[in-house]
A and B are shown apart, each in its own frame.
Chain A
Amino acid sequence: MIRFKVNGTSQTFDGDPEMPLLWYLRDVLGLTGTKFGCGMGLCGACTVLQNGKAIRSCQKQMGSAGGLEITTIEGISAHGPHAVQKAWADVNVPQCGYCQPGQIMQSVSLLTSQPHPTDDDIDNGMAGNICRCGTYQRIRAAIKEAAKVTA
C-alpha cells in the first residue's frame, strides 16, 4: 500500500505499480486538469508539482510515489485563481488551452526557483512544454506579469 498526498489530501494506492501518476490522477482520482500529451516526458502537458517542484506525471510511476506531496492544477485553483492563472487570463494566453495547465504548473515552479526570470530564463525554463497553437510569446508576457506579484 503506497501512501502519499494529492492537493493536501491523503491517498493510498495498491494497483499496478507501473501505472504513471498521470493516469492515476486522471482515471482514478478524476483530476483531469493534468493532461496527456505524449507519455514520454517530451511535451509537459502532464506537469504537476512534486513537493513544490515541476515534474512530468507521465514519467512518475505509482510504485515510487510513496510519501510524495503532489499538487495539480486543481490544487492551485482551490482558493480562487493563483497569481499565475490571473496573469494568464489578463494576457489572454490560451488558444485551445489543452497544454495550459501544464504550462501554468511549470511557470509556478519556475517562479519559485527564479522569482525575477529574464527572457532567456523563461525560454529555457519553459522549453519542455510544447504549445502547438503557438502561444509562447503570451506565456512569456504572462510569466513576467505574474512575477510582479509572486516575487
Chain B
Amino acid sequence: MNTRDKIAEDKIATDSIATEKISIENVSRRGFLQGALSAGAFVLCARIIPQPVWAKTAASLSIEPASIAATAFHPGVFVGIHTDGTVFIVAHRSEMGNGVRTSLPRILADELDADWNRVKVLQADADAGFGSQDTDGSHSVREFFDTLREAGATARLMLVRAAAQQWGVPESQCVADPVHTVTHTASKRTFGYGELAPIAAKLPVPKKEELKLKTPPEWRYIGKPAPGYDVTDVCAGKPLFGMDVRVDGMLYAAIAHPPVLGGKVKSLDGSAALKVIGVKQTLAIDPFKPPHAFQPLGGVAVIADNTFAAFKGRKNLKIEWDNGANAGYNSVDYKKELQQTARQPGKVVHAVGDADAEFAKGSKIVEAEYFAPHLAHASMEPPVAVADVQGEKVTIWSPTQNPQGVQEEVAKALGLKKENVTCHVTFLGGGFGRKSKPDYAVEAAVLSKKTGRPMKVIWSREDDIKFDYFHSVAAMYLKAAVDDKGMPKAWLQRSVFPPIGSSFNSAEVYGSAGEMSLGWDLTPFDVANFRSENGAATAHVRIGWLRSVANIYHAFAVQSFANELAVAANRDPYDYLLALLGPARHVDPGPKGSPGVMEKYPYDIGRLSHVAEVAAEKSNWSKKKFGKGSGMGIAVHRSFFTYVASVVEVEVDDQGTISIPHVTTAVDAGIVANPEMVHSQFEGAAVFGTSIARTGEITATNGVIDQSNFNDYPLARMNDAPRQVDVHIIESSAAPAGVGEPGVPPFVPALCNAVFAATGKRVRELPLARNGFA
C-alpha cells in the first residue's frame, strides 16, 4: 500500500486506532532554547513518532512569534510553562468548528492542574513529530486523549518534585493544589507554576510508572462544558482563516479547471482576460497524471493583483477543452447502472449463518432498493491557499485538515524534500473532509514557483461545487425473510458505489474494508443468517470522504429498511427496532476484528439499545399523538465507535413542505472531553443531515457537474433547519470515541421515517426533493 492509499484508508477506517507509543522528553535546555529565552522556561515534548524534529528554529511556528521566541516553543512540543506562569499548549490538530483548539488543550491542562485562564493555545505547523495531524475520521480526542493526559501528568509531577526539592521535603507531602500552584500540605507554603518552571526544567522526566493520572471525579476540565477558546476573536472578525491570509507582494489567482475530470486545454485565447484591469498574466497548469489523487486538476490560471480581477479575467478566457474519457458520464444512466449491479450478487463482505438457505424456505420476503446521490462538501470558506516559493524553500498558509499531506504533495509537485515545505495551518472555514485533500495548496505552490511571487489561489463557490471530491453516489438492495411476527430470519444487504480508492487507483471499483466498516459489513441486528455484499462501480468524478462518509448511505438504507419491516409487521417502529437489536451483546466481527480494537471499542449492542431508549423517552415517543401531516421517526447508528439515536419530528403541509420542529438525539461517545462541543457537533449534524436529506444532490451531464452555487445546491437555512435540537449525552466511562461525524448518519433515515409516519410516503431515493417534498 503506497502512502496515498494508506492516507485514504486511514481516513475512512472506523477501526483504526493509534498504536504508536509516546515518548516524553524534557527539552527545556535544548540548544534552541538559548538566546531568545532567558533561562527558566519548562518545556516538555511528547513525541508520538520518535523522529528528530529539533533542528528547526523556533521562528517556524506561525502564531504569536513573540511569545514563541520567549518560550522557545517548537513543533513536537505539547506543553511549556513560562516563568511568568503562562502555560503554552500546542494544538496540533486543525480547528474547523470541531472545537479541538479547546477540547484537546483542556485535557492536558486538566492533568497539569493548570488554570485555564492562564493557558495560551498555539497552533502547530505541519510536522511528522506530532504523529497524525490529519483532522479527519473523528479521531482527535479518541487518539490523543491518553497522550495529552500523560504529558500533563508528567509536567505536574515534575513541578511537584521541583517544589519538594526547594523545600527539602518529601514529594509525598506536596500537592498541585490549588490550581496552578504546588502546596506543601503540612506548612501551607506554596509555589506558583511560573516560579517552579526553571527548577522543573532541570529535572529528568519521570517514568510512566511513576505518574499518577487523575481519577474521573478529580477531573477539573474533562467532562465539563467550556466555550470555544477563540470565540471572542471569531466574533470580532479577526483574520484567522486561510481566506484572510495576506502576504507582502502577494498576487491572486483564479483557475479555469477542465469542466470534465481528466480534460485538457485544446486551445486558449487569453487576450480578453489580459485586458481586464488588474490582470497580470495567464498561466497553464499541467493536467494530472492518473490517478489524480491530490494533484491539481490542470487548466488555466489568471493571475491578478486582486481576487475580483482574477475572477473577471477568468470569465474572459476563451478555452476549447478536450474533455476526454469521462465526457460520457451522465447521472441518469449511471443510476440505472448502479441499480442493475445492486440487483446481482456482489462480493461477499461478511456472512453469518446461511441467508440463502433461509430465503429458499418460502417465508415471507420483504425487499427494497435505496439510492443516494453524490454530495458536495460546500464548506462556507471555499478552498484557498497562499504559497511562497523561494528557491528550495516553500511556505504554505492554508486552511487544511491535513498539513503533513500539504508538505508531501507540494514537495512531490515541485521536486523538493518535504522537510523544505513549511505549512502554517490557519483556521478552517469548515472542512467536512474536503480540506484534507491538498490539491488547492499544490496549485498555489506551482503558480508561486512559476511567477516567483507569493500566490493566493482562491476557489469560487462554483469551483468548489463543480470540482469537489464528491461524496459517493450509492445504490443499495436489501432483502429479509421474516417470521410470522415479522422478525427477520435472514437478511441480505448489498451496496454499490464508486469507491474512494478510485481516486488513488483508477482501476479500483470495490469499496475498501474501511468503507465497508462504515455501517455495512456487520449488522447490529439479532438475525441468525446475515450477509453483506458490495458490487463494482467505476468512478467518473473525483470521489472523496465527506463528514460520516459511507455511513450516510449505509445508515439511510439499513435504518429505512428496519422501519419498513416494522410497518410490514404492523408494529411501533421504536418497539420493533429494540426487538431487532435484540439482547445486549458484543457483535462478533469475525476474522477481520483486531484484538486491540475489540478490547477498547467492542461493538456493544446494549449501548446502541440504550441510546434508542433515551431518545425515545426524552422525545416522549410513546406519549405524543400526531394528527394528519405530522409524525415522528427514529433511527440508530454506531459510527466512529459512538452510539447515536435520532428521533425527528416533522410537519408536512399540503404542498409537501417539510418543517422540523424538534429533534432529539441521544449520544454515547464514551468519556466526553468537552460536552459543550459535543452538543454543538450534534446540533450541527442535524442541520447538516437536513441539507443532505432535503435537497442534497450533485448530478452530471456529459461529465460536467450540473450544480454550481447555493441556488442549485441549496443548504438548510435557519427557516428550514430543525427549530430545536436536544442532545442528551450518556454518561460513560468507556474509551472516548468520535463526535464530529456520528450525528449525521442516523438523522437522515430518522427524518425519512418521520416523513413516512406523517404522509405514508416511503422515501427510498434521496433527496426528499426528488419525492415531491420541499
Chain A interface (Cβ within 8 Å of chain B)? 15-16, 18-20, 23, 26-28, 30, 32-40, 42-43, 45, 72-74, 77, 81, 85, 88-89, 92-101, 104, 119, 122-124, 126-140
Cβ contact within 8 Å between B306 and A97: no
Interface size class of B (residues with CB under 8 A): 35 or more
| Bound Cα distance A88, B235 (Å) | 7
In the docked arrangement, what's the CA distance between A122 and B719, Å?
9
In the complex the two chains form, is B688's CB within 8 Å of A132's CB? Answer: yes
Beyond A133-B430, A137-B723, whether A40 also contacts B461 by CB under 8 A is yes
- Contact between A92 and B427, CB atoms less than 8 A apart: no
Let me know if B379 and A94 touch, CB within 8 A.
Answer: no
Q: Are A37 and B380 in contact (CB under 8 A)?
A: yes
B221-262 contacts to A (CB < 8 Å): 227-228, 230-232, 234-241, 243-244, 246, 252
The proximity string for B residues 416-460 relative to A, scoring 1 for CB distances below 8 Å and 0 otherwise, is 000000000001111110000000000000000000000000101
Docked Cα-Cα span, A138 to B725, in Å, equals: 10
CA of A126 to CA of B720 in the docked complex: distance in angstroms? Answer: 11
Instruction: Point out the residues of chain B lying under 8 angstroms from A100, CB to CB.
Output: 234-235
Q: Which residues of A contact B686 (CB under 8 A)?
A: 134
Q: Report B673-718 residues with CB < 8 Å from chain A CB.
A: 676, 680-681, 683-688, 690, 709-711, 715-718
Report B-chain residues with C-beta under 8 Å of the C-beta of A123. Answer: 718-719
B interface residues (Cβ-Cβ under 8 A, vs A): 95-99, 227-228, 230-232, 234-241, 243-244, 246, 252, 276-278, 306-309, 311-312, 378-382, 427-432, 458, 460-461, 676, 680-681, 683-688, 690, 709-711, 715-719, 721-725
- The smallest C-beta distance from B122 to any residue of chain A, in angstroms, reads 18
In the bound complex, do residue B306 and residue A23 qualify as a contact, i.e. CB atoms below 8 Å apart? yes
The answer to whether A136 touches B721 (Cβ under 8 A) is yes
Return chain A residues, CB-CB under 8 Å to B231: 88-89, 92-94
Chain B residues with CB under 8 A of A132 = 378-380, 430, 432, 688, 715
Known: A36-B382, A40-B709, A77-B237. A16 touches B309 (CB 8 A): yes
Residues of A within 8 A of B306 (CB): 19, 23, 27-28
CA distance A104 to B232 in the complex (A): 12
Q: How far is the CB of B250 from chain A (nearest CB, A)?
A: 10
Residue on A nearest B250 in the bound complex, by CB: A27
Contact A39 B460 (CB under 8 A): yes
Q: CB distance B721 to A19 under 8 Å?
A: no
Tell me if B234 and A134 are in contact (CB < 8 A): no
Do residues A134 and B711 form an inter-chain contact, with CB atoms below 8 A?
Answer: no
Q: Which of the residues A18, A40, A74 comes within 8 Å of B711, measured between beta carbons?
A: A40
Task: List 6 contacting pairs A-B, 8 Å CB cutoff, sorted by A.
Answer: A32-B241, A42-B711, A98-B243, A98-B427, A101-B237, A132-B688
- Given known A124-B719, A134-B684, contact A98–B430 (CB-CB < 8 A): yes
Of all chain A residues, the one with the shortest Cβ separation from B99 is A95
Q: A35-B243, A134-B683 are known contacts; what are 20 more A-B pairs with Cβ within 8 Å?
A: A15-B278, A16-B277, A23-B308, A27-B252, A27-B308, A32-B244, A32-B246, A36-B381, A42-B710, A45-B380, A89-B235, A95-B99, A100-B235, A127-B717, A129-B717, A131-B380, A131-B687, A136-B721, A137-B722, A139-B718
Residues of B within 8 A of A99 (CB): 380, 429
Please name all residues of chain A whose beta carbon is closer than 8 Å to the beta carbon of B711 when the two chains form the complex: 40, 42
Q: Provide the residues of chain A in CB contact with B681, threshold 8 Å.
A: 95
Residue in A98, A123, A128 whose Cβ sees the most chain B Cβ within 10 Å: A98
A96 adjacent to B429 (CB under 8 Å): yes
Known: A30-B246, A43-B380, A119-B723. A16 touches B680 (CB 8 A): no
Q: Main SS of the interface on chain B?
A: loop
From residue B145, how far is it (CB to closest CB) to chain A in Å?
A: 21
- Distance A124 CA – B681 CA, assembled complex (angstroms): 24
Asked if A26 and B307 make an inter-chain contact with CB atoms under 8 angstroms apart, the answer reads yes
B232 near A89 (CB under 8 angstroms)?
yes
B187 to chain A, nearest CB (A): 42
B680 touches A92 (CB 8 A): yes
**Cβ–Cβ contact B235 & A85, under 8 A:** yes
Partner of A97, one of B234, B252, B684, B724: B234
Interface contact A138-B683, CB-CB below 8 Å: yes
Q: Which residues of B contact A19 (CB under 8 A)?
A: 306, 308-309
Residue of A nearest to B428 (CB): A96
For B685, the chain A residues whose CB sits under 8 A away are 134
Inter-chain contact B228/A94, CB cutoff 8 Å: yes
Which one of A16, A81, A94 lies within 8 Å of B308 (CB-CB)? Answer: A16
Known contacts A16-B308, A28-B306; A35 and B380 CB within 8 A of each other? yes
Task: Answer whether A140 and B460 are a contact pair too, CB < 8 Å, given A43-B380, A95-B684.
Answer: no
How distant is the Cα of A74 from the Cα of B238 in the complex, in angstroms?
8
Q: CA separation between A72 and B237, bound complex, in Å?
A: 9
- Supposing A23-B308, A43-B380, A92-B680 touch, asked if A97 and B718 sit within 8 A by C-beta, the answer is no
Q: How far is the CA of A74 from the CA of B278 in the complex (A)?
A: 27
Set of chain A residues within 8 Å of B722, measured between Cβ atoms: 137
Quick check: B228 and A32 within 8 Å, CB to CB?
no
Determine the chain B residues whose CB is within 8 A of the CB of A134 once the complex forms: 683-688, 690, 716, 721
A100 to B235, CA, bound (A): 6
**Complex Cα spacing A140 to B458, Å:** 32
- B-chain residues with CB within 8 Å of residue A37 when the two chains form the complex: 380-382, 461
Chain B residues positioned under 8 Å from A98 (CB to CB)? 241, 243, 379-381, 427, 429-430
User: In the docked arrangement, what's the CA distance between A140 and B687, Å?
Assistant: 14
Do A96 and B277 have beta carbons less than 8 Å apart? no
Closest-by-CB residue of B relative to A139 is B718
Set of chain B residues within 8 Å of A30, measured between Cβ atoms: 246
- Contact B724–A133 (Cβ < 8 Å): no
CB distance from B434 to the nearest CB of A (A): 11
> Which residues of chain A have C-beta atoms less than 8 A from B723's C-beta?
119, 137
CB contact between B719 and one of A40, A92, A127 (< 8 Å): that residue: A127
* Residues of chain A lying within 8 A (CB to CB) of residue B97: 94-97, 133
Considering the chains assembled together, what is the distance between the CA atoms of A85 and B687 in angstroms? 23
Q: How far is B717's CA from A67's CA once the two chains are assembled, in angstroms?
A: 33
Expressed in whole angstroms, the Cα–Cα distance for A87 and B690 within the complex equals: 26
Name the CB-closest residue of A to B464: A38
